[in-house]
Amino acid sequence: MRAETLKGHLDGLLLAALEDGPRHGYAVKEALRDSTGGRIDLPTGTVYPALHRLERAGLISGSWSVVGGRRRRAYELTEAGRTALSGERAGWQEFASAVTAAMGARPWPATS
């Protein structure tokens, strides 16, 4: 899926990936890829700054641990993050219903 298609939905996707419990950045990216059957496979390195932004906004909180000699930062949803996720989900469902209704189930016209 193209990156521009995800614009405006990345926050909701990242929050949803943390809904089941704390995850570190790489695991968040893996969870996103697995839950979408590989259709959303972001460059892993770009997930971290988005997580930092969500943390600054108070929607997730991070904590450090040491695993296998490496420092690892795991994130979990805050109460504000759960509320924001509910809002993102409701907004997406409304948007998806509207677009589906507008486009209908008819096949696309042939272009040639």
Partner 1 sequence: MAGHELITAQLELLAARLPADAVDELADGLWQAYETRLGLDGDPERAARAAIAEFGDADTVTAAFLRESPWRRAALTLLATGPVMALVWGAALLTLDVRTWPIPLAVKLGYGLALLAVAATLLLVARARLAYRPARPAVVAAAFGLLVLDLSMLAAVTHLTEAPPWPVAPAVLAGLGRILLTVRTLPAILRRGA
Residues that bind partner 1 (CB under 8 A): 24-26, 29, 43-46, 48-50, 52-53, 56, 67, 70-73
How far, in Å, CA of 99 to CA of 91, rounded?
12
Nearer residue to partner 1 within complex by CB, 81 or 105: 81
In the complex, minimum distance from the CB of residue 68 to partner 1, in angstroms, rounded to a whole number: 8
CA 104 to chain centre: 27
Distance in Å, CB of 99 to partner 1, minimum: 27
Q: 43 or 104, CB closer to partner 1?
A: 43
C-alpha 18/C-alpha 27 separation (Å) is: 10
Q: Whose CA is closest to 6, among 37, 41, 34, 35? A: 41
Comparing CB distances to partner 1, the nearer of 9 and 53 is: 53
Pick the closer one to partner 1 by CB: 5 or 112: 5
CA dihedral 87, 93, 94, 97 (to 10 degrees): 180
Q: How far apart are CB 73 and partner 1 at their closest, in Å?
A: 5
